[in-house]
Structure 1
Amino acid sequence: MAAVRRLTSLLFLIVHAVAESVTKCGNTGLTSYYNSTTLPYLFYNNPWGNDGSGYSCITVNNNGTSFDATWKWANNSANVHGYPHIRLESSVFPLPISQLSTLDFATDFGINVTSAYNKTADQRVQALTTDDVQYDVTLDMFLDANKTAATSDLPAYEIMIWLSYSYRVYPVGIDTSSPDKYQFIIDGTRFFFFNGTNSQNQTVYSWLPDTNLTSVDADYSPLIHYLWQNNFMPKNVYLGTLQFGTEQFHATEEVLFRTGNYSFNLAQNTSQVFTDLESVSPIAVPSQVPTTSRFQSNSTKESGASPAYAKDVEVMTSVWCGIGIAVLVLSWL
C-alpha cells in the first residue's frame, strides 16, 4: 500500500509539472519574464511601447514547451506596443557569423481575436479585419562588430525574418528599399529584402515572405549570409541574441498569439568555407508585400493575417547549439 501511495504521489507530481502554466503581465522585473528550469529559454512579456491604452500578458505552459500572448492596444496603431517573445540562452553567443553554419528554426503558431478562436476560419479572418488587428510575427536577432556590444541593449544591427504580418504593418526602410531587386527563397517561400535605420540609429534588415505562414521548419542562415555577401553588412560581426515572438501594434479587441513545437538548431563551424549563395531571379513584388505606394495610401484597412493555428500539440521541444553539436530533446507525455 505504501508503494502504491508513493507511485500515486509521483504520478501527481508529474501531471502537475506537465500541466503547470505561469502568467506574466508586468512591464519590468520578475513580473515581466519567466526563466524555464528545463529548457534554455527566457520568456518575455516586453510591452516596451506601453502607452496606457491596453495590456499585454504571456502565459508559459509546461515549463516552456509552449506559450501564449494575449494583448489589446486601442491607440497609436502605427506604433509597436510590445514584443512578447522567447529568447534562446546559449553559451555559443556571441557567435561570429563567419562561423555560423546552420540556423534551423521550427515552430507552429497562430494569431486570432480571442473571442473568435473557436469559430470558423472565415469568421476568424473577418474578426482580424473587423477588430483592426495589426501585428507581425518575427524571428529576431541582434548583431555587432564588437563582441561585447553584440549582447548589449543596443547593438548596431538587427535582422528580422518576418513569418506573418497584417496588411498595414511595414518594415523599417519601406521608402528606401528595393524588394523588387533583392529576394531569396527559403524552403519554397520567397522573401523580399528591406533595410533602413530605426529611431535608435540601428541598421535594421528585414526579410518579408510572399505569404503568411503558420508553420515553419527551415535553415534561415542564408538570409544572414546574404547580407555580407551583398555588402549590406560586414562579415566580421557577432550574433548576440536570437529570439522569436510577435510585435503588437493595434487591436480593438483582445488578441491571442499561440505558439509551440519550437526548436532551434544553431551550429558553429570554425573552419567553414563559404561559397556564393545561388542567385534568385527577382519577380514583381506581390500584393502581400508592402511597397512605398501602398505605404503612402491609407485607403484600405484590409488584413493580410492568416488565423489558423496549425497544431495544438506540445510533444517535443529541441535545442541544438554549439560546435559539436550538443543536443537537448525533451518529450512530454
Structure 2
Amino acid sequence: MVHSYPHVKLTAPGLPTPLSNISALVLSAQWSMGPGSKPRPARVVDHDGLTNDGTSANVAFDMFADRDVAKALNEQTAETEIMIWVGKFGHAEPLGFDANMTKTCFTQTIGDAEFVLYQGHNERGTDVFTWVASANQTTFTAEISPLLQYLWRNGLVSAKSHLGLVSFGSEAYHSEGTVTFSASEFDMDLVAGAAPKLAVGHLCSLAASTNPPQWLFSSAIIMSATLLYLIS
C-alpha cells in the first residue's frame, strides 16, 4: 500500500490528447534521496542510509489515460495508469510483480536503460501498467513515446485513450525514519501529431517464455512511511 505520493504535476498545452496522437514525449528529471531532513545534492542517493532505515519507495513518472477526456483528467476516475519507475528501493515492487519471476518478456530499451513491463490493478480497479528501469536513473531525459506505443499498438491500452495527467514524484511505502526526496530539472515536452511507426517490438509468446508476466498484486509487506519532499 502506498502511504504518500509527494509529487509535482507536469503540464503541456497539448494535453489531453489521444495516445495515437503523440508524435514524441520527452520527460526529464534529476533527483536525490537519503535519510534525515537535509536534502542531498542532485543525483546523490544514500543507499546505505536508506537500507539502514528500512526504506521502501520508488521514484516515478505517473500518467493517467482514459477514452473519456473528462475522466482522463482525474486520477480517481481514469481507467488506465501508466508509470515509469526510474528509482526503486527496499521492498517496493510494481503491481504485477511476482517474487518467483526473474523477468517478464515485456521489455523495451530507452536510451541506456532497459525497462520491464508489469501489469496489475489497484484498489480502485484501475489498470496499472508499470515500466521499471533495470537500474536507478538519478538523471533522466528520454523520449518515452515507445513505452506508450508498446501498450496501444499491442492492444493492451486503447489507441483512443487520452493522456490527461502527468506527474513526477516518489511513492513511499515504509521507512523507520524521515526520508528526504529532492527533485529538480523536471520537465515535459509533448509533440502532438500522428504517432510515427516506431520499432516498439511485439508481445512475445507466453508459451516461449519461462517467466511469463503475472497479473497479480505485489506480495511485498509494507507498513507506514514518513517522506519529506523538497523541490529545488
TM bucket (normalised to shorter chain) is 0.7 to 0.9
User: Partner residue of 1:228?
Assistant: 152
Q: Distance in 2 between matches of 1:159 and 1:233?
A: 10
Residue 263, structure 1, aligned to residue 181, structure 2 = no
- Residue by residue over 1:250-276, the C-alpha shift from the partner in whole angstroms, topping out at 9 and shown as x without a partner, is 11111110111122111101xx25325
Structure with larger RCO (C-alpha < 8 A, sep 6+): 2
Q: Give the TM-score taking structure 2 as reference length.
A: 0.80
TM-fit CA distance, 1:179:
4.1
Name the SS for the 1:252 alignment partner: coil
Q: Which runs of 5+ in 1 are unaligned?
A: 1-78, 286-290, 299-313, 315-333
* Equivalent residues in 2 for 1:58-207, closer than 5 Å: 79-114=1-36, 124-152=46-74, 153-175=76-98, 179-207=103-131
The alignment of Structure 1 onto Structure 2 pairs a total of residues equal to 211
Name the SS for the 2:30 alignment partner: strand
- Residue by residue over 1:178-231, the C-alpha shift from the partner in whole angstroms, topping out at 9 and shown as x without a partner, is 943110000110000000111101000000011011001111111011001122
* Contact kept in structure 2, 1:93 and 1:239, CA below 8 Å: yes
User: Partner residue of 2:167?
Assistant: 243
Residue 216, structure 1, aligned to residue 140, structure 2 = yes
Relative to structure 1, the CA distance from residue 280 to residue 216 in structure 2 (aligned partners, 3 Å threshold; closer, same or farther) is: farther
Q: Which runs of 5+ in 2 are unaligned?
A: 222-231
Q: Identity over the aligned pairs, expressed in percent? A: 26
Name the SS for the 2:5 alignment partner: coil
Q: Distance in 1 between matches of 2:73 and 2:64?
A: 8
Q: Distance in 2 between matches of 1:123 and 1:82?
A: 20
Q: Distance in 1 between matches of 2:183 and 2:7?
A: 10
What amino acid maps onto 2:90 in structure 1? Y
What amino acid maps onto 2:5 in structure 1? Y
* Contact kept in structure 1, 2:32 and 2:45, CA below 8 Å: no
* Contact kept in structure 1, 2:59 and 2:86, CA below 8 Å: yes
Q: Give the TM-score taking structure 1 as reference length.
A: 0.57
Which protein has the bigger helix share?
1
Q: Distance in 2 between matches of 1:90 and 1:264?
A: 7
- Residue by residue over 1:137-196, the C-alpha shift from the partner in whole angstroms, topping out at 9 and shown as x without a partner, is 000000001122111231000000000011311111124999431100001100000001
What amino acid maps onto 2:108 in structure 1? F
What amino acid maps onto 1:201 in structure 2? G
Relative to structure 1, the CA distance from residue 148 to residue 280 in structure 2 (aligned partners, 3 Å threshold; closer, same or farther) is: closer
The alignment yields a C-alpha RMSD, in angstroms, of: 3.3
Q: Distance in 2 between matches of 1:94 and 1:123?
A: 34
Q: Distance in 1 between matches of 2:220 and 2:177?
A: 25
Name the SS for the 1:148 alignment partner: helix
Q: Distance in 2 between matches of 1:205 and 1:193?
A: 7
- Residue by residue over 1:301-333, the C-alpha shift from the partner in whole angstroms, topping out at 9 and shown as x without a partner, is xxxxxxxxxxxxx7xxxxxxxxxxxxxxxxxxx
Q: Distance in 1 between matches of 2:128 and 2:220?
A: 23
TM-fit CA distance, 1:124:
2.9
Relative to structure 1, the CA distance from residue 179 to residue 226 in structure 2 (aligned partners, 3 Å threshold; closer, same or farther) is: farther
